[in-house]
Amino acid sequence: MSEFIRPELVPKRKLFTGEEIPCIGMGTFGSDRFTPEEISGAVAGAIRCGYRMFDCAAVYGNEDQIGQVFAKAFSEGVVKREELFITSKVWNNMHGKGDVLLSCAQTLKDLQLDYLDVFFVHWPFANYHAPGCDGDSRNPDSKPFDPEAFIATWRQMERLYDMGLTRHLGMSNMTIPKLEAVLPYCRIKPSLIEMELHPCFQQPELYDYCVSRQILPIGFCPIGSPTRPDRDKTEADIADIQMPELVAIAQKHGVHPAVICLKWAVQRGQIPIPFSIHENEYVSNLRCTVEDPLSEEEMAVMASLDRNCRLIKGQVFLWEGAKGWEDLWDLDGTITK
C-alpha cells in the first residue's frame, strides 16, 4: 500500500476566480521513453497517494489509458471527479476551424470525462511536427507567430468554455510580446499559463508578468527534465540536479536534489508538475510540499541559480528562413517574424 498524503494538507494556489487548486500536479509526458501503461499506472498510484492534479495532453499519446484509470478511480470511490483538477491541451495540428472542438471532444472521450478543468493551447502556432521526429526536421508549412491566427484559435477555446466543456482556459509556451499582442482580445482570459520553470531557468519577467495579471504560472520540467528526449538536449544545457549549491541544500535536508527543485518551485509560487513513474519518487515529490520547507537563506541561494538555461527550445516548430530556436522566444522584446 502506497503512502498517503492527505490532500487537504497540500498547500493550495488561488485562481483569479477564487477557486483553490493544489500547489503541485503530476506530469504525464513520457518523453518517448515510457509506455502509456507505465504512465497510467503511475497516475493510478499517484491518485492513491494523494495527488489531485494531473497535466495531460493529446500529443502525449496516453489519454486513453489515463482515462481508464480515472474511470476506475471514480467507480471504486477512490476519489470523486470534482476532487481532481485535470488539464489537457490542443495540439498544433488542431488549431483550424472546427478542429479545437474535435480535439477537445476526443480528449474528453479518451479521458472519459464530461469536462476538463483547464484546456490549454499547447503551443502558440499551428506548426506541426511528427511525434518523435529528430530535432533538425522542419515542416515547410510552419509559420511565425500570427496574432490573428492565434485569436481565431482562442475564439474556439472560448466556445468550449461557453459550452461548459472546460472550466478554465490556458496558454502554454508564450512570451511577453505574444501575450501583449493577444490578451487584450481575449473575451475569456487564461487562468493559467504553462511555461518552462526550474532553478536554472526561472523566467522572472514572464513569471512576474503573469502573476501581476492574476494568471497562475504552471512550471513544466520542474526538475530540469533529466529524461527528456535526446532531440531536446544540447551540450550547453545545465543539469539542475547537479548544481553544487543545490546538491548541498539537498544533502542538508537528506533528500534527492529533485525534491529541492520542487520545494523551491512551490515556495516561490508556481505549480510544478513533476513527472515520474517511480512510486518512491512521486510520493516524495508530493510529500515535500507538506514538510521541511527551505529556509529564507536557501530560497535566496536557489534564486541565485538562474542561468537562463532553456531546455525545451522548440526547434522542431521553426519555419523556413528562421535563424534558430531563439526566434521562437522573442528575445529582443518583439514578436519575431
What does the binding site for ligand NAP look like in residue numbers (CB under 6 A)?
A: 27-29, 31, 55, 122, 172-173, 194, 220-228, 256, 258-259, 273-276, 278, 281, 284-285, 312
CA distance 44 to 31: 19
- Residue number, 75 or 282, with CB nearest to ligand NAP: 282
Is 60 known to be catalytic?
yes
Residue bearing cell 487537504? 8
Name the residue nearer to ligand NAP (CB basis): 128 or 275. Answer: 275
- Closer residue to ligand NAP in complex, CB, 48/75: 48
Min dist CB 186 to ligand NAP, Å, is 19
As given in the structure block, the three cell numbers for residue 114 are 464530461
Nearer to ligand NAP, 29 or 209 (CB): 29
Q: Which is nearer to ligand NAP, 98 or 171 (CB)?
A: 171
Buried b (16+ CB within 10 A) or exposed e, 241-260: bebeebeebbeebebbbbbb
* Angle, CA of 97, 103 and 106, to the nearest 5°: 145
Query: Of 51, 60, 207, 282, which residue is the catalytic one?
Result: 60
The contacts of residue 66 (CB under 8 Å, 6+ apart) are: 28, 36, 39, 40, 43, 54, 56, 110, 111
Tell me the closest approach of the beta carbon of residue 190 to ligand NAP, in angstroms.
Answer: 13
- In the bound complex, what is the minimum distance in angstroms from residue 169's beta carbon to ligand NAP? 14
Q: Write the DSSP string, 30-87.
A: -TTTS-HHHHHHHHHHHHHHT--EEE--GGGS-HHHHHHHHHHHHHTTSS-GGG-EEE
- As measured in angstroms, the least distance from the Cβ of 62 to ligand NAP is 10
Alpha carbons within 13 angstroms on the beta-carbon side of residue 148 total: 0
Backbone phi, psi, residue 9, to 5°: -85, -20
Residues noted as catalytic: 60
